[in-house]
Structures are given as C-alpha cells and as structure tokens.
Amino acid sequence: MMTEQTNRNYYAVIPANVRYNKSLSNISKLVYSELTTILTKDKKITVDAHKISKNLNIPYNNVLKAMVELNEAKIIRVENWEEDNFDIYFI
C-alpha cells in the first residue's frame, strides 16, 4: 500500500543558471530543486528547513548552508532568517 507521500506527483526544476553555476555546491542545487516543488505562482514560499532536511535526508546544517549559498549567488532571496521557517523569493 502506498502512502500519501509517495502518491504525490511533484517534479523539480533546475534551470541552466543554477545547474551550471560553478559557485554552487551539489547540495545547493539539490535544495533548490526541492524548493521548486513547492513554488507558488507569485514565486514566494515559506519553508521549514527541518522538513527540507528530512525530505532530502541531509543534515539540517547543510540545508542552511545551501540556502545561504543560493542567497549569496542571487538565485533566491531569503527573508525572515529567524527560527526554522524562512520566506524565500525566487529571483
């Protein structure tokens, strides 16, 4: 029997400016692709870094580092760095 989680049909997108960006780590590219699965039409999401960590099976600190890296590369803009929920805007 399949769980609700495995029945969902999400897909990830990695555009060329992210995929071929040599300043981004592979983890950052993976985190970016995970973020695109919950992207809204207005290109803004609120995300729980612990949930991303659990979904990707990577350490929480790696998710935080990836979000900093993506923010510094101006791929995303992260606001509200407090606690575990972040507001992310796709640029």
Report which of residues 43 and 27 the model is more confident about.
27
Measure the CA–CA gap between 5 and 73, rounded to whole angstroms. 31
| Rounded average pLDDT over 15-40 | 94
pLDDT in tens, 41-86: 888 898 899 999 999 999 999 999 999 999 999 999 998 777 778 8
Beta carbons of 34 and 62 less than 8 angstroms apart: no
- What pLDDT sits at residue 12? 87
Global model pTM greater than 0.75 = yes
Q: How far is CA 70 from CA 6, 7, 9, 48, 90, in A?
A: 28, 29, 25, 16, 10
Please give the structure tokens belonging to residue 77.
Answer: 């803009």
- What pLDDT sits at residue 9? 60
Measure the CA–CA gap between 21 and 25, rounded to whole angstroms. 9
Please give the structure tokens belonging to residue 78.
Answer: 């992260």
- What pLDDT sits at residue 21? 96
